[in-house]
Structure 1
Amino acid sequence: MSEITKDMTIGEIIRLHPRHVETLMAFGMGCVACGAAQGETLEEAAMVHGIDVDNLLRALNVLD
């Protein structure tokens, strides 16, 4: 699997790695399926939700 980066959109991450929905939600991104989230990058979404993007990236990439 390809590494997840902070420049990938939430929609792209979910399409490539559907199981990561649980991880995103566990970090506080409850609206991963809403239209706005689909076009936001992981970094943008993390900033909006006050989440440390580096910690989130580590958690997402450990699963791959």
Structure 2
Amino acid sequence: MDAPQVEKDTMIGELLEIDQNIAPILFGIGMHCLGCPASQMETIEEAAMVHGINPEDLVTEINKFLAKENSEAQAAE
């Protein structure tokens, strides 16, 4: 099974539904309001820009994380 992929227009709420283990990545760049209802409706791009982060770099980091986690899960099967 292929790892899920996110894009700049993926909503933060959707992102956390894909994998809650992404939260530490977001906390690490200063996105501490993940539980806020308003943040759930922001895209990765919007949230990154508010926090002064390049959205493309963030998407790349998240997708690398998801691929690694998927690879580890498949190896464990």
Q: So what's the TM-score if we normalise by structure 1?
A: 0.91
Q: Secondary structure at the match of 1:2?
A: coil
Q: By percentage of residues, which structure has more helix?
A: 2
Q: Which runs of 5+ in 1 are unaligned?
A: none
CA RMSD of aligned residues (A): 0.9
Hey, what's the Cα distance between the residues in 1 that align with 2:25 and 2:33? Answer: 12
Hey, what's the Cα distance between the residues in 2 that align with 1:59 and 1:28? Answer: 15
Hey, what's the Cα distance between the residues in 1 that align with 2:16 and 2:45? Answer: 15
Q: How many residues align?
A: 64
Q: So what's the TM-score if we normalise by structure 2?
A: 0.77
Hey, what's the Cα distance between the residues in 1 that align with 2:4 and 2:56? Answer: 17
User: Is 1:56 the counterpart of 2:58 in the alignment?
Assistant: yes
Q: Which has the larger radius of gyration?
A: 2
Q: Which runs of 5+ in 2 are unaligned?
A: 67-77
